[in-house]
């Protein structure tokens, strides 16, 4: 937990809060934005987080705020919302999110999270996805929060369904897929292909066209 960030980090954090307050002007107050940013940072684990404050604020905190705005009816949904959840958000859920975004051509808003997030994404997963032209090198494991679950139309768990909050009206699926943790890239490729097939089926069920020729090794 980041309790007393250095002066330089604090200045950068305040700068990003102001940026997000402008982005969400008329939706959330600056105080709400500041609270969500700091609360979100406190949920991250691992020393690596300190150097990722700007990236985290730019990408995860806005996602939490957008999800909250959707839940509160302040922002309308423009496309299906899918959330992938696994234990560490370092392998399966990251691959599923990357494949869903690529294969839908951006026609699905995708989020991913972990019930017990790791401090980095599995390097073999990054390599296997890079082979398809999907860059996960700038992604990072994110904690599971209530508002992202509540905002999703479909919640897909991958090995940890019992850790996900249940909200009425949501579609919940559990994909039984091998865990890539500790596996060589050859095995991770096979897992990737398992997930790809499930993603293509999901997109058809959502009436979202699968982009042909996308994400093929």
Nearest Cα to Cα of residue 103 among 32, 204, 191: 204
Express each pLDDT in 72-131 by its tens digit. 999 999 999 999 999 899 999 999 999 999 999 999 999 999 988 888 899 999 999 999
207 φ, ψ to 5°?
60, 35
Say whether pTM exceeds 0.95: no
Nearest Cα to Cα of residue 19 among 57, 72, 53, 74: 57
Angle at 81 between CA 111 and CA 107, to 5 degrees: 95
Sequence-ordered list of residues with C-beta below 8 angstroms from that of 92, at least 6 positions apart, any chain: 84, 86, 158, 159, 175, 177, 179, 180, 191, 195
The pLDDT > 70 percentage for the chain reads 86
- 108 and 208 Cβ atoms separated by less than 8 Å: yes
Express each pLDDT in 26-79 by its tens digit. 999 999 999 998 887 777 655 355 556 666 667 888 999 999 999 999 999 999
Q: Are residues 125 and 22 in the same domain?
A: no
User: At which of 71, 95, 118 does a domain end?
Assistant: 71
Q: Residue 17 belongs to what domain range? A: 7-71
Q: What is residue 162's predicted lDDT score, i.e. its pLDDT?
A: 56
Question: Cα separation of 169 and 164, whole Å?
Answer: 15
Task: Output the domain CATH number for residue 58.
Answer: 1.10.8
Cβ neighbour number for residue 63 with a 10 Å cutoff: 18
Q: Are residues 38 and 106 in the same domain?
A: no
Q: What is residue 3's predicted lDDT score, i.e. its pLDDT?
A: 40
214/190: higher pLDDT: 190
């Amino acid at each position: 937990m980041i309790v007393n960030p250095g002066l330089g980090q604090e200045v950068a954090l305040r700068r990003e809060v102001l940026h997000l307050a402008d982005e969400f002007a008329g939706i959330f107050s600056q105080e709400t934005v500041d609270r969500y940013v700091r609360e979100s940072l406190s949920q991250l684990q691992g020393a690596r987080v300190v150097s990722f404050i700007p990236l985290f604020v730019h990408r995860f905190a806005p996602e939490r705020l957008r999800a909250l705005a959707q839940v509160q009816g302040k922002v309308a949904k423009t496309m299906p919302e899918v959330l992938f959840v696994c234990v560490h958000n370092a392998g399966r859920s990251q691959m599923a999110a990357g494949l869903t975004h690529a294969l839908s051509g951006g026609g699905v808003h995708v989020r991913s999270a972990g019930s017990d997030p790791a401090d980095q994404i599995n390097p073999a997963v990054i390599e296997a996805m890079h082979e398809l032209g999907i860059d996960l090198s700038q992604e990072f494991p994110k904690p599971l929060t209530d508002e992202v679950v509540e905002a999703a139309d479909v919640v897909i768990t991958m090995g940890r369904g019992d850790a996900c909050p249940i909200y009425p009206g949501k579609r919940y699926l559990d994909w039984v897929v091998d865990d890539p943790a500790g596996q060589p890239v050859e095995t991770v490729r096979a897992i990737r292909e398992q997930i790809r097939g499930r993603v293509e089926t999901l997109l058809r069920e959502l009436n979202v066209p699968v982009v042909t020729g996308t994400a093929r090794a």
